[in-house]
Structure 1
Amino acid sequence: MDGHGRAVAPAAGTVLNALATGRGAAFAIDLETTATVDLDGSGEYRGEVADAPDADTALVERCAELAVVEWGDGEGATVRTESEVPMAAGLKSSSAAANATVLATADALGVDPDPLSACRIGVKAARDAGVTVTGAFDDASASMLGGVTVTDNDRDELLAHEPVDWNVLVWWPDARSFSADADVERCRRVAPLADLVTDLALDGRYGEAMTVNGFAFCSALGYPTDPLLEGMPDVDGISLSGTGPSYVAVGTTDALESLAEHWNDRDGTTWHTTTRTDGTRTT
């Protein structure tokens, strides 16, 4: 153990938003957050975000603190993160930062933890820091394990996990939406549709699940459905990601290139990427 650790974690897109029923599903995508952790013996925890000196660092500080409680001896640490993932865009930037921080702290302590145990530490930290309503175990597990996961967020239980190899298109507008600010009561009104999405996801029909989820949660959260309609019927699946404002689509290269022509006309950023199967890892 040299007191220094580094880890990278992928972002994720949504198959099922967990706000309606507590069950969710997500898939890892090839956008990364990197965390470096240096133990300093201070007993205190400090966070820094590259290119964002005023960013809230409570989540990563709590992640490092809980990881030290689990595997260390009160060392204290400095956490530095840098990310390709836009913040508060629905692409699971918080889950990626939490996973990367927990594994980087474990690396600094010379520990190789069970991935789901490490994931649950990050989820607890997210709840403690108030950045999530559900705990986001769906998002966190997809980022930690790679592939697609289906989860019970009320119990932090993994219901299904499958590697997937998809082409992905992401569009995020020039706006932010914080998950903790979502209107949970409106989301609960679409619970019957969320139950249908759960059944589809557990049956491996992820594209259909995404699309039903997209229309349900655009309605519940007040986002336009036009970005969804622009991809249909050619894409395999398309959805609002998280609580927005980003949208994600999966499908053939031709279908996604056609959709990108529409999304490129909108203000914001359109990004071609792929799914990830390797999840969070130390480097």
Structure 2
Amino acid sequence: MGLKSSSAAANALSKALANALGLDMSEMEVVKAGVEAAKRAGVTLTGAFDDACASYFGSLWVTDNLGMRVLHSSKVEPLPVVLLLSGKTLLTESLSGRDFSPIRPYVEEAIRLALEGEWRKAALINGLVYSTYLGHPIEPFRIALEREAVVGLSGKGPAVFAVTDEPEELAEEWEQFGEVLITELR
């Protein structure tokens, strides 16, 4: 559903193997080893270095996934987050060979905004662009925006997230689209 489970699993396996083998690896080396394993397993197109960093360390990460370089990271407040799980899945393998070049300028703009600290705007632009391109419904975005929430797509989706001061109210409205969870940023 785009909730970073493969990145979290790769991180956990990489850390467990490093510990079991007594390897002296930095935390970042553990994350990079997990990214390489995820690439070889075919559960990611780019390596999802950004997702791996976020799931391992928490906070906000902007990365060059192919070059495995950190471009920006910053702490985020533990704000309430509503997750919408539609019950559908989008397998990574189904995207292999797909041409994403038509949305590249918009994704680059989202990256620029994130690098400038405008992660809220970046999340919205990125989420709407990918949702539209991949055929995910955007009605949950409209509802979240009406409630002045920060809304975006989690990974390739179809899971949608919203950062809001009124998580219960938004969760109630989103229930028509699928399962809803309330948690917080870490």
Deviation at 1:186, TM superposition (A): 4.6
Moved over 6 A (4+): none
Match of 1:142 in 2: 54
Q: What SS is found at the alignment partner of 1:217?
A: helix
| Contact in 2 for aligned 1:160/1:202 (Cα 8 Å) | yes
Question: In structure 2, what residue type is equivalent to 1:143?
Answer: S
Please list the CA deviations of residues 57-104 of structure 1 after superposition, one character each: whole Å capped at 9, or x if unmatched: xxxxxxxxxxxxxxxxxxxxxxxxxxxxxxxx1001100000011111
| Pairing 1:269–2:182 present | no
Q: What SS is found at the alignment partner of 2:87?
A: coil
Aligned counterpart in structure 2 of residue 209 of structure 1, from 114, 118, 122: 122
| Contact in 2 for aligned 1:207/1:250 (Cα 8 Å) | no
Deviation at 1:183, TM superposition (A): 6.3
| Pairing 1:258–2:169 present | yes
- Unaligned ranges ≥5, structure 2: none
Identity across the alignment (%)? 37
Which has the greater radius of gyration?
A: 1
| Contact in 1 for aligned 2:45/2:96 (Cα 8 Å) | no
Alignment of 1:190-209 (within 5 A): 190-209=103-122
Count of residues in Structure 1 that have an aligned counterpart in Structure 2: 185
| Contact in 1 for aligned 2:127/2:153 (Cα 8 Å) | yes
The CA RMSD measured in Å over matched residues stands at 1.6
Q: What SS is found at the alignment partner of 2:140?
A: helix
* Mapped partners of 1:132, 1:210: distance in 2: 20
| Contact in 2 for aligned 1:239/1:247 (Cα 8 Å) | yes
Question: In structure 1, what residue type is equivalent to 2:35?
Answer: V
Deviation at 1:120, TM superposition (A): 0.8
Structure with greater strand percent: 1
Structure with greater helix percent: 2
* Mapped partners of 1:187, 1:228: distance in 2: 22
| Contact in 2 for aligned 1:183/1:221 (Cα 8 Å) | no
> Normalized against structure 1, the TM-score is what?
0.62
Alignment of 1:125-274 (within 5 A): 125-165=37-77, 166-182=79-95, 185-252=98-165, 254=166, 256-266=167-177, 268-274=178-184
* Mapped partners of 1:173, 1:108: distance in 2: 38
> Normalized against structure 2, the TM-score is what?
0.92
Deviation at 1:262, TM superposition (A): 1.4
Taking a change above 3 Å as real, the CA distance of residues 177 and 151 of structure 1, as seen in their structure-2 partners, is same
Alignment of 1:21-60 (within 5 A): none
Deviation at 1:179, TM superposition (A): 2.2
Deviation at 1:222, TM superposition (A): 0.8
* Mapped partners of 2:173, 2:130: distance in 1: 21
- Unaligned ranges ≥5, structure 1: 1-88, 277-283
Question: In structure 2, what residue type is equivalent to 1:119?
Answer: V
